Amino acid sequence: MSSTFVRLLTVAALLCGPCAALAQDQSPPAPAPVAKPPKPPKPPKPPRPVAATPAPDANAPAKSGSSILGGAKGQGPLEVTSENGIEWQQGAKAYIARGNAVAKRGQNTLYADVITAYYRDIPNSSQTEIWRVVSDGHVKITTPTQTVVGDHGVYDIDQAVVIMTGQALKLTTPQDVVTARDSLEWYDGKQLAVARGDGVAVRGERRLRGDTLVAQVSQAPGEDSRISRVDGKGHVIVSGINGQVGTGDTGVYNADTGIATLVGHVTVARGDDTVVGQYGVVDLQTGVSRILPRPPTAEDTTRGRVQGIIIPRQKTPDTAPAKSAPAAQKAQP
């Protein structure tokens, strides 16, 4: 079937916030108010500018710049294309675009096999607003600086939250990549990405893994968006240059400095050398680490110990086993 193209001024909320959604199509045309004779008559599908009225309130919590959903200012209408047409279900109050559906607004684009936009009535008005968008199959959201992919996506417009599930979940910025197994969430107002289930954040050779990762995305004026901080919880593992690996119950990683702070059952290892404590600071850029028996708090006056196991290196691979065994025994704590 030939490609169907629809320009929907009133479905612009799909990527940015609520707006009117073809009010005249879902109810008989209302007569023009008598008290406002200058108002032009309403044709069946007029390009009315009323969609811009509720947009500021809906987008007030969101930040501009690195928004993955699309800003509210000056991006124009939403353009929707699909190979198998666009279906309007009045009973379900939904618009459904099927077959390689693409929804584009400004420089932000949503791709999916099927895109469904749900609308609701605006109280004391003949208009409607989009409040929920569901995308299924090969879902991808792209902006000039970010890309999110998954199999199923739900966009809650009221909360400005996108939740992606499925296989190969990934958030990509020019400098960073975040992946997850169970879900990848984007909170537009706070500029936060949450990776649940074996979350991994990667920048170059530096890597942080945990059961749950919360990544803060920042964007300076005129620069690309980037991850500035990652908080990890549960089985946190950090790694950097020189094969250094640190583990802990929780961790905070400063992506700008390359320093990771680990708390709880901390270990830092490089090859066979291992240091164990309860608090550690690991510089993933320089390879320098510091392990403490406890977090450096003034209230904590208890004494603790840091344990280290240092394995001496063989100078030559031909060293006889009989001579190397006593040296290894002396190195044991």
Q: Any long-range contacts for 129-133 (C-beta under 8 Å, 24+ apart)?
A: 129/13, 129/18, 129/19, 129/20, 129/21, 129/54, 130/11, 130/13, 130/14, 130/18, 130/19, 130/21, 130/157, 131/18, 131/156, 131/157, 131/158, 132/156, 132/157, 133/14, 133/157
* Predicted confidence (pLDDT) per residue in 12-58, tens digit: 334 443 333 333 333 444 444 545 555 544 443 433 322 222 322 33
User: What separation in angstroms does the CA of 71 have from each of 7, 38, 45, 85?
Assistant: 18, 33, 25, 27
* Residue 330 pLDDT greater than 60, yes or no: no
DSSP H stretches of helix in the chain: 23-26, 55-59, 321-330
What value does the mean pLDDT take over residues 98-118? Answer: 91
> Taking a C-beta distance cutoff of 8 angstroms, is the pair 236, 230 a contact?
no
Q: How far apart are alpha carbons 154 and 162 in whole angstroms?
A: 6
> Between residues 273 and 95, which one has the greater pLDDT?
95
> Taking a C-beta distance cutoff of 8 angstroms, is the pair 117, 133 a contact?
yes
> CA angle, corner 103, sides to 97 and 104, nearest 5?
160
Q: What is the mean pLDDT of the chain?
A: 73
Burial of 138 (0-12, 13-18, 19+ CB in 10 A): middle
> Taking a C-beta distance cutoff of 8 angstroms, is the pair 130, 157 a contact?
yes
Radius of gyration of the chain (CA): 27
> Between residues 1 and 76, which one has the greater pLDDT?
76
Q: 3-state secondary structure string, 104-166?
A: EECCEEEEEEEEEEEEEECCCCCCEEEEEEEEEEEEEEECCCCEEEEEEEEEECCCCEEEEEC
> Between residues 255 and 200, which one has the greater pLDDT?
200
* Half-sphere exposure of residue 44: CA atoms within 13 angstroms, side-chain side: 1
Question: What's the confidence (pLDDT) of residue 233?
Answer: 96
Sequence length of the chain is 333
271 pLDDT band (50/70/90 cuts)? confident
